[in-house]
Amino acid sequence: SGKTEKLARRYIALLRSGVDVERILAITFTDKAAAEMKQRILRILRQEDKELFGKLLEKMSLMRVSTIHSFCGTLLRRFSFETSLDPNYRIEDAIDSRIAWDRILYEVLMEVGTTRSRAGKGKAGNELLFQSLSENGFKGLDRLKTTINYLFEKNPFSLEAGLPGPSLASEMFAKELADWSGAAAAIENYAELFRDDGFTGLVAAEKHFLTKSGEPRKRAPAYAKGIVDYQGWASTMFKYWSEKSKEEFRKRAERLKAVFNKCFEKYSDKKALRGLLDFSDLEYMTFRLLTEDQEWSNILYAFDEKTDHILVDEFQDTNNFQWGIIDKLTEEWRSGLGAKREEGKVPTIFLVGDEKQSIYFFRGANVEIFNRAKIKLEEWLKREFYYEEVTENFRSLPAIIDLTNALFSKIMRTVEPDESGGEGMPSWMTRYSAFKACRTDTKDAGKVEIILLDDDEATTAETRQKEADVIAKRIQGLIDDYRITEKAETPAGSRPCRYMDIALLLRKRTHLKKYEQAFRRYNIPF
């Protein structure tokens, strides 16, 4: 929907208003995105404002467009005395970091295993390790390692920092209940289809409710009632089982935390000996510098003296520490006080993101921050707060947009999230908003096909094989008959469809081999 374009336009608007380039801080998610942001800004100016383009070229070295980690590194080096940090520290390579962590995890698990007979059953690590082994054998050990690695992938300092967000116990609990809650949600959504006449078109497509000729099956009403009844039973069982298990998960979480802390302590010691920091260190040390250091007010003053505007891209992927850093840097701005206000300046913070695209939970990204920041900024800034919901879609064709709107208006909720989960919905949920198709480069409306198979007697493997064959035939049909509109490529304005124009998306890789085999049978390159 052009989110990054809006951030680039905002940057340019600040330049046009007379703001010096070095007084703008733009934060992106990756180094690649930072480089692309600079190029996008230059491209727009080259096309629209030659004079400003020339001025910006002269000051390219002063552009502050970087990742949050690069910004943290710059701040820590500048105030290395306050943090007792060697300014010549090096950032640990991600691969080396993971190898070192895996080795330490193995050592710690072996250590708690070999000391069990001497230490007895009272040690948290021993209890956790042998409970995992006794319940699931070596699969249990693998699961334990996976869970500890999951905590390592997220920012490990957040376990002790007391920042807002789910507790370790609740995260473990949520992961363990994923299958149950997913089933309950599916039942809930499926049952809703029978209560809403506006969605009968999709219901009518289900093979359980229609015959091949399109006539309603005699058993259709019974199916519908059964699903609605099952929904109530599943909800009751889910509530009972979840309450019964919470205390057990709390105990396991405490034991897990003890093992993790031991691993992390050894890992930190090894990094310190080699003068290394990783990205989690950068975030944590910057957060502490701004909130706990005795000189924090001087540090904020030094930053404030050189910065008037902060722009953040992909805000939905922000974690608690990153938002804590941004929050602290702009604290005085939001209060309506400070030197800038006295000089007649209005500092700004500009956040761009889409909570539906928040996919980095395993790295600590917290989609709650997206909604929490919106609520808090509106509360703090009052009349100076501005929120714009971008509904224009410049990428997809109308048929795709229409299907998406029809489907997700029934699956996702449309009410505004609130922090309490009271009148609205929990702030970790994402909200649905309909898109408008705004592509202007083609008159093609696009096309959506739903291909249905009707074989009640087939096994799952047979069904997957049949699906793979049907898709392979459809791909071959597109290659033979479909034309792609590309005005610049041919005088006629279109060209034949190529295999490289087609993508196959699967929910899981479980049955990928079936599709690979079908593609080979039909000589489809992939």
Tokens of 54: 């020339």
Of the two residues 234 and 99, the one the predictor is more confident about is 99
pLDDT tens digits, 44-86: 999 999 999 999 999 999 999 999 999 999 999 888 887 788 8
Please, what is the average pLDDT of the chain?
75
For β-strands 64-67 and 348-351, DSSP reports them as unpaired
Alpha helix (H) residue ranges in 420-506 = 460-481
**Whether pLDDT at 406 is above 70:** yes
Task: Say what the pLDDT of residue 23 is.
Answer: 95
Alpha-carbon gap, residue 351 to 159, rounded angstroms: 26
In 3D space, the residue among 306, 304, 322, 302 whose CA is nearest the CA of residue 370 turns out to be 322
In this prediction the pTM is: 0.68
Of the two residues 103 and 127, the one the predictor is more confident about is 103
**Whether pLDDT at 331 is above 80:** yes
pLDDT tens digits, 430-471: 778 888 998 877 777 888 998 888 766 566 778 888 999 999
Give the model's confidence band at 201: pLDDT under 50 very low, under 70 low, under 90 confident, else very high.
very low
Of the two residues 245 and 165, the one the predictor is more confident about is 245
What's at 20, amino acid-wise?
D
| Number of residues assigned to the chain | 526
Of the two residues 389 and 351, the one the predictor is more confident about is 351
Residue range 145-173: mean pLDDT, rounded? 50
pLDDT tens digits, 359-405: 777 677 788 888 888 888 888 888 888 988 888 888 889 999 999 99
Task: Say what the pLDDT of residue 163 is.
Answer: 42
Of the two residues 398 and 127, the one the predictor is more confident about is 398
The alpha carbon torsion through 110, 271, 320, 65 (nearest 10 deg) reads -140
Give the model's confidence band at 136: pLDDT under 50 very low, under 70 low, under 90 confident, else very high.
very low
Task: Say what the pLDDT of residue 138 is.
Answer: 41
**Whether pLDDT at 292 is above 80:** yes
Residue range 91-117: mean pLDDT, rounded? 71
pLDDT tens digits, 508-522: 888 899 999 999 999
Q: For the chain, which domains are there?
A: 3-85+279-381 (3.40.50.300), 94-274 (no CATH), 460-521 (no CATH)
Residue range 22-46: mean pLDDT, rounded? 94
User: Distances from the Cα of 354 to the Cαs of 78, 290, 434, in angstroms?
Assistant: 33, 28, 13
Task: Say what the pLDDT of residue 198 is.
Answer: 41
Residue range 340-354: mean pLDDT, rounded? 84
